[in-house]
Amino acid sequence: MTTGSRDVVIVGGGIVACLTGYLLGRNGYKVTILEADSLGSHASGFAFGGLDPLTGVGIPFPLLEFSLWCYGRHRGLARELNDNTGIDVGFEFRDRLHLAFTQEEAAESKKNIEWMKDVGGFNVEWVDTKRAIELEPQVSSECIGALLEQSPGALEPYRFILAAMRAGERFGVELLQRRATGLITEGDRCTGVQLENGTISAGIVLLAMGPWTGLASEWCGVNIPVTPLRGQILRLRSENKALNMAVNYAHSYVATKTDGLIWAGTTEEEAGFDESTTSEARDSIMADFMKMIPGMDDAELVQQTACLRPLSADGMPIVDKVTGWDNLFVATGAGRKGILWSTGMAQVMFDLIDKGKSDVDGSDHLKLDRF
């Protein structure tokens, strides 16, 4: 089977692909997204959905500006997607407490307050145990204080990816459920994509296969240093009151989501491309959850999910034209922050395809040739 020619073929149908497709479609490009599985069936559909531009790899340097740009875009985009599709992605502001249980943990958090409090629009301060419990009565009285962050955001990732795809479809973007197996090339040009059962011609090809993008290194002869990092989340039901705030401790977090369930995560596991859930992860997430919110000991496990983050060699995203190629692009590597960063990654990718450069704040830190 040979499918007709498209201006842009995007390999992979995660959130980065769907948002880029939407921007391209809205600007008149004929776009096809190739997705090997179902839409939202990997990390983009199963992430937690926290939008925190003040913490994580590369923040504050060199990605604070980029993270703030991404964060700033989410609110307007949520409205835009709702207008286009009727899907409410569940964007909301949600205050967050980062608990500390030891003096070392408290010192580590306090170190960051100095620069965080200068970031416009956010109030960040250290609160003692009494104040932390006033803010969220269910946090552990064993904590010795917490960093309070007002008001980062949150959304529902599955609704976000559905809305992004459906908005794209309104502008002619098509989703083909096909697995790509290679590139069709002529010299330094990519003329199409090889599928499991056919080919598709393309003016431009974008590789946005999340953690699988590293496998395309062989297709193009350029190292794209991205590997999978498994993360698991528990969805729990409790008769206790919903949590007022998101609560974090070390690399774990917990919040009441819009489905009324408590979502608790997470793990960071090098398990190759294995997306299975494990009892070890369940136990370690439950241990952190009980440490943060000890009163919720009635919590019943409703669902456990596991998926793979696309982790680049330095933990920061890669959004660039592929070195040595005329019309081959890559957008991947967002690790733990791909829902937050997806807005900026898609805008930078659109700009590079459309005009060869991007003015998005901090976009020069996303280049492939930094490796």
Ligand X SMILES: Cc1cc2nc3c(=O)[nH]c(=O)nc-3n(C[C@H](O)[C@H](O)[C@H](O)COP(=O)(O)OP(=O)(O)OC[C@H]3O[C@@H](n4cnc5c(N)ncnc54)[C@H](O)[C@@H]3O)c2cc1C
C-alpha to C-alpha distance for 29 and 155, rounded to whole angstroms: 28
Q: Tell me the CA distances in angstroms from 166 to 26, 53, 73, 135, 339, one per residue in order.
A: 12, 27, 19, 38, 17
State whether residue 128 is helix, strand or coil: coil
The secondary structure of 286-339 as a DSSP string is: HHHHHHH-TT-TT-EEEEEEEEEEEEETTSS-EEEEPTT-SSEEEEE-BGGGHH
Is residue 288 a contact residue for ligand X (CB under 6 A)? no
Smallest gap from Cβ 53 to ligand X, in A, equals 10
Find out whether 20 and 346 touch, Cβ atoms under 8 Å: yes
C-alpha to C-alpha distance for 42 and 33, rounded to whole angstroms: 15
Smallest gap from Cβ 315 to ligand X, in A, equals 11
Pick the piece of the chain touching ligand X (CB under 6 A) from 7-15, 122-130, 235-243, 285-293.
7-15
Pick the piece of the chain touching ligand X (CB under 6 A) from 36-44, 88-96, 104-112, 119-127.
36-44
Is residue 329 a contact residue for ligand X (CB under 6 A)? no
State whether residue 364 is helix, strand or coil: helix
Among 307, 318, 319, 348, binds ligand X (CB under 6 A): 307
Is residue 316 a contact residue for ligand X (CB under 6 A)? no
Among 26, 42, 96, 321, binds ligand X (CB under 6 A): 42
Is residue 310 a contact residue for ligand X (CB under 6 A)? yes
Is residue 179 a contact residue for ligand X (CB under 6 A)? yes
CB nearer to ligand X: pick between 147 and 246: 246
Is residue 265 a contact residue for ligand X (CB under 6 A)? yes
C-alpha to C-alpha distance for 251 and 249, rounded to whole angstroms: 6
Among 22, 29, 48, 350, binds ligand X (CB under 6 A): 48
Size of the site for ligand X (CB under 6 A): 40
C-alpha to C-alpha distance for 146 and 128, rounded to whole angstroms: 6
Pick the piece of the chain touching ligand X (CB under 6 A) from 14-22, 119-127, 141-149, 236-244.
14-22
Q: Tell me the CA distances in angstroms from 365 to 67, 138, 191, 317, one per residue in order.
A: 12, 40, 28, 8
CB nearer to ligand X: pick between 47 and 143: 47
C-alpha to C-alpha distance for 108 and 131, rounded to whole angstroms: 19
Among 214, 264, 337, 360, binds ligand X (CB under 6 A): 337
Find out whether 54 and 124 touch, Cβ atoms under 8 Å: yes
Give contact residues for ligand X (rule: CB under 6 A).
Answer: 11-17, 34-37, 42-44, 47-50, 179-180, 208-212, 231, 233, 265-266, 307, 309-310, 332, 334-340
